[in-house]
Amino acid sequence: MYELMVKDIFSAAHNLRGYKGKCERVHGHNYTVEAYFTASELDSIGLAVDFNDLKRSLKKITDTLDHRYLNKEIKYFRTNNTSAENIARYIYEGLKKTVKKILVSKVCVWESDGSMAAYYEEHC
């Protein structure tokens, strides 16, 4: 098995609905996103997939989140809280729709240097 990872960043504002504390108020983060992929085979030149293709797919999603107020401007987050966990799932599901050559295995969203949430699905 081969594992690949690409990384991107975006900045966005949000607030956690139902949270009792300062994160209930509107605030922002400079998010770092790591997207992990797995492949069992390589092509004729020894690549699982071109990193540029993976970076473009991730960038397409993070660009829709960049400099947005997630709670109001992104439909998914009108009903799903804007936790790092849900942001990771949102990005994971977006990548699953666009990356077809290899398997999306995990998405990690860092909202600070010391706080990260990951989303992945169990694969049998």
Active site residues per annotation: 23, 67, 111
Closest CA to 7 of 38, 51, 66, 47: 51
User: φ, ψ for residue 28 (rounded to 5)?
Assistant: -130, 165
Nearest CA to 80 out of 20, 22, 18 is that of 18
